[in-house]
Amino acid sequence: MHDLPRRLVAEFLGIFAICFVGILAITHAGHGAPGDLVSVALAFGLTVAVMIAALASVSGAHFNPAATLAFLAVHRISPLRAAAYIAAQLAGALAASALLAALYGADVVGRGCTVLAPEVSPLKGCIMEAVATFFLLFVAFGTAVNRHAPRHLFPWAIGLTVTLDIFAIGPLTGASLNPARSFGPALIGGVWSDHWVFWVGPIMGAVAAALLARYLYPEFHRA
């Protein structure tokens, strides 16, 4: 556990960058034209990719409580370390949201909160978040954890999966994929509508992906 402080700093920085860049991208995007969705999707996806490339060697670059719980489900992280990771992730998302609120006002952060579209029920939203996060974590396990995958590929594979998920469900749920990404802006921006969806859906999808990956890649047991 002597390296835990370094790992927690890495987790804090990763999700801080994701929230900082992502919320600003949503703010700049304006009123939801097709080009706006592309810019937001690329902003999140590229930020995830570059922060994974920079920090995976330090902490594994979870940046996401759902990812950490997925690793916990397949015994790739201890419960104590998982709890510390999640605390650092929530703190990083909260710090980025608080900084943006201090610079531009809480209403800017509120526009960056994840909310369901009017035609999307909480159940449908939860299912979409679960499926999209399943794809994200399945790609993460298949490229970052699988020893047989090319080592240079995984940051970009994971970042592109975030981009694709936002293309698919961003207009419907906000494409959280990450409870910390939803929690920080919600706390600062005061937008809590159907907030449970953005915890339950991503966690369910992430854990399901981890369990399937463990079945497909038996060497995980020996890692």
Say what the pLDDT of residue 147 is.
83
Say what the pLDDT of residue 51 is.
98
Both tokens assigned to 20: 């900082």
* Residues 213/77, Cβ–Cβ less than 8 Å: no
* Residues 32/41, Cβ–Cβ less than 8 Å: no
Mention the CATH class of domain 4-222: mainly alpha
Say what the pLDDT of residue 151 is.
79
The ranges of the chain with pLDDT < 70 are 1, 30-35, 219-223
Say what the pLDDT of residue 154 is.
95
The C-alpha atoms of residue 54 and residue 48 are separated, in whole angstroms, by: 10
Say what the pLDDT of residue 33 is.
47
- pLDDT tens string 100-126: 999 999 999 999 999 999 999 999 999
The C-alpha atoms of residue 62 and residue 119 are separated, in whole angstroms, by: 32
Both tokens assigned to 19: 């929230």
* Residues 172/128, Cβ–Cβ less than 8 Å: yes
* Residues 111/186, Cβ–Cβ less than 8 Å: no
Q: Tell the burial category of 50 from Cβ atoms under 10 Å away from its Cβ (0-12, 13-18, 19+).
A: middle
> Which stretches of 60-178 are DSSP H helices?
65-73, 79-104, 106-111, 122-140, 154-173
What residue has token string 């399901």? 208
Q: Taking the model in full, what pTM does it have?
A: 0.94
* Residues 159/165, Cβ–Cβ less than 8 Å: no
CA dihedral in degrees (197, 202, 204, 210; nearest 10)? Answer: 180
For the chain, domain boundaries: 4-222
Q: Output phi, psi for 30, to 5 deg.
A: 90, -115
Say what the pLDDT of residue 220 is.
65
Say what the pLDDT of residue 221 is.
54
* Residues 85/178, Cβ–Cβ less than 8 Å: no
Letter for the amino acid at 73?
A
